[in-house]
Amino acid sequence: MNNMSWSRYILILVVFVLVAGGVGVRMVSIQNIPAAQTILESSKKLVGVTQTIYPERGSIYDAQGHLLAGNETVYEVGLDLRSIAQPETIASVVSNVLGLDYSTTLVYAKTEAIDDEKLYIVLDSFVDKEKIAQLELIEEDYKNRTIGRNETRPSLEGLIWTPYNKRSYPEGDMGANMLGFYSFLDRVDGRGYYGVEESYNDLLAGTPKQVYTPFDPQKITSGDDIPPGASLVLTFDREIQAMVEQQLAEAIEWSGAESGTILVYNPEDGSIIAMATTPRMDPNYYWTQGEVFTGNTPFNRPVSETYEPGSVFKVLTMASALDAGAVKPETVFTDTGSIMVGGTTITNWNYGAWGDQDMTGCMQHSLNVCLSWIAMQLGADRFYTYLKNFGFDRNTGIDLGGESHWPLKLPGDNQWYEVDLATNSFGQGISVTPIQMAMAIGAVANEGRMMAPHIVKAIVIDGHQYEINPVIVGNPIKAETAETLTRMLVTSLEEESSIALVEGYTVAGKTGTAEIPTPFGYTSSVTNTSFVGWGPAEDPKFLVYVWLEKPTISIWGSEVAAPVFSKVVQNLVVLMDIPPDQIRLQASAEDK
């Protein structure tokens, strides 16, 4: 090769090196200019899109598998501004079918698309299936329509509808106080409020996931499965809940009560079988909450509202005194009609003197004087220790949102006076929630074992059902004490010929009538009437707590709450398949 050829080759090489060097320098400089980051971000949008996927919210079932909270399909209707062909047609159809304003829709439909800024406009959300079916019919009709030469085929191109889940509550307001609600109108920050929707919100919601979808089809791989939120199986039974709600509605109408609560609790394992209260709202329309719950009305009275329970509390005073050995069932108290405690005279409900009474008589006639004397025999320290053991100084921990409790006044507190020992003994001057009462008295029904109240029976995660085991919260009294007191309460109901009795079944129970505290002292014209009872007495399967607030038909628990208890139990034993004592004991004897 001659010198001329070599010099040409070298020249070409130099040119190539210079060009390559120039390109390299330019590349480095472009990557370091201030706009480089923006360009990089923009380029990412061209290769794929990252979206946050929210898992479907878990469903809620009752103990028999009836769906209580699920998801139904609704649609978002919007405009893809890049592909709108006939704005007028879209505006006309949308205003007819969805009831949206024609001119506003037309303005939206004529909006020019701006890349990365305005490509899509939402016209309407939560559109139901029927309306979407109408849109689909119209779209189909336009496609198949025969048109003349000079006519233009009408088109809905650019109008799109996208399905998504909306929380739904098929049973309406039934059990709504336990379920709570999910604020589904807020599609990004929606969450559960009250009931299980609140207390299990994180589990029900699942874990949102960032998912990247490349535009390059070769890079698409099978997406990660996004598991739905956990589903819950509750302990409550729909049929029993419906029955209890019906009984409560009838009781309120009959008694003229302002509100009511009926709680059906299984003392053996702490599960809630039914929990009816008023008022209730349909969680499908949760935005009506302000109209339904006016003033300080709580969403779920049984766990959120404290009240002075009255004589139903005597069950716990008697349980404490028997357990501590302060009294025995056969201990006789001579009731003179009054007792002086801390400078205050305590009288009976009828201001009468009942003479010699054993402890069953004291319970049967609901004698305030006797129970005050019993509390004094027990002593303040032991009495309040028992109350704390029964859980009155704290929340029960039930898995429902919005639980509260009233602080227990104790000796030594500024607000505690000596007379409180007496008044507390018969359920005055102490505020409790129905669920606290059910849990505490459940210990008497369940051989001294106090169970944690709970509403969730099982949680279903990733295709597996995890059962929730019952939890013993404590043993506030001995099994013998519980058995003795149950027998005493069975006797007191039977000897009183209470209207709480249920034919064929042995039940134990106690009435309660409580005057209502006001800023000007207690009112005796309006009361809180209560009844607590459980059965079958020797092997309790249910505990029913009834509370009717301010009944007008009578002020006495024995006349208002006791018959409600009886009616509830008459239906309950059928729904729970509990045969009458005679059949049950006979079958039990044959088995042995």
Partner 1 sequence: MNMKTKNIIQAYRQAPWRMQLQWIGIFLLILMSIAVIAGVYLSLSGKAAITGRRIQSLEYQVSALELQINDLASQLAYASSARVMSERAAALNMVQRDPAQAIYLEVPGYSPESFSLAPAPTVDNIPSPSILPEFTASLWDWLADTLSNLPGTAQGSLEAQP
Binding site for partner 1 (CB under 8 A): 56, 59, 61, 63-68, 70-73, 129, 163-165, 168, 170-172, 174, 213, 216-223, 231, 233, 238-239, 242, 458, 460, 463-467, 503, 570-571, 573-574, 577, 579-580, 583, 587
CB of 384 to partner 1, least distance (A): 40
Tell me how far apart the alpha carbons of residues 353 and 355 are, in angstroms, rounded to a whole number: 6
CB of 235 to partner 1, least distance (A): 11
Tell me how far apart the alpha carbons of residues 585 and 229 are, in angstroms, rounded to a whole number: 45
Q: Which is nearer to partner 1, 213 or 552 (CB)?
A: 213
> Any bridge partners for residue 164, and if so which?
74
Q: Are 386 and 320 in contact (CB under 8 A)?
A: yes
Tell me how far apart the alpha carbons of residues 204 and 183 are, in angstroms, rounded to a whole number: 13
> Any bridge partners for residue 51, and if so which?
211
CB of 255 to partner 1, least distance (A): 21
CB of 66 to partner 1, least distance (A): 7
Residue reference for tokens 């004529």: 110
DSSP 186: S
Q: Which is nearer to partner 1, 113 or 242 (CB)?
A: 242
Query: Within 13 Å of residue 325, how many CA atoms lie on the same side as its CB?
Result: 0
Query: Within 13 Å of residue 264, how many CA atoms lie on the same side as its CB?
Result: 31
Helix ranges restricted to H, 209-255: 238-255
Q: Are 363 and 488 in contact (CB under 8 A)?
A: yes
CB of 260 to partner 1, least distance (A): 19
Q: Which is nearer to partner 1, 112 or 577 (CB)?
A: 577
Q: Which is nearer to partner 1, 148 or 463 (CB)?
A: 463
Tell me how far apart the alpha carbons of residues 44 and 38 are, in angstroms, rounded to a whole number: 10
Tell me how far apart the alpha carbons of residues 111 and 158 are, in angstroms, rounded to a whole number: 12
Tokens of 137: 């019919």
Q: Which is nearer to partner 1, 295 or 463 (CB)?
A: 463
Q: Which is nearer to partner 1, 216 or 330 (CB)?
A: 216
Residue 376, SS3? Answer: helix
Q: Are 182 and 27 in contact (CB under 8 A)?
A: no
End-to-end CA distance of the chain: 117
CA 43 to mean position of chain CA atoms: 47
Residue reference for tokens 């106690």: 510
Q: Can you list the positions of beta strands (E) in 118-198? A: 120-127, 159-168, 181-182, 192-193
Q: Are 90 and 156 in contact (CB under 8 A)?
A: yes
CB of 460 to partner 1, least distance (A): 5
Q: Which is nearer to partner 1, 59 or 360 (CB)?
A: 59
Q: Are 455 and 398 in contact (CB under 8 A)?
A: yes
CB of 292 to partner 1, least distance (A): 18
* Torsion sign over Cα 428, 431, 434, 439: negative
Q: Which is nearer to partner 1, 380 or 458 (CB)?
A: 458
Q: Which is nearer to partner 1, 6 or 466 (CB)?
A: 466
CB of 233 to partner 1, least distance (A): 6
Q: Which is nearer to partner 1, 411 or 579 (CB)?
A: 579
Tell me how far apart the alpha carbons of residues 455 and 399 are, in angstroms, rounded to a whole number: 6
Nearest C-alpha neighbor of 365 from the set 320, 339, 335: 335
> Any bridge partners for residue 60, and if so which?
69, 232
Q: Which is nearer to partner 1, 264 or 477 (CB)?
A: 264
3-state DSSP: the chain helix, strand, coil percent, rounded to 5?
40, 25, 35
CB of 162 to partner 1, least distance (A): 10
> Any bridge partners for residue 338, and if so which?
347
Give the burial class of 562: count Cβ atoms within 10 A of its Cβ; 0-12 exposed, 13-18 middle, 19 or more buried.
Answer: buried
Q: Which is nearer to partner 1, 128 or 480 (CB)?
A: 128
Q: Which is nearer to partner 1, 164 or 417 (CB)?
A: 164
CB of 535 to partner 1, least distance (A): 14
CB of 443 to partner 1, least distance (A): 25
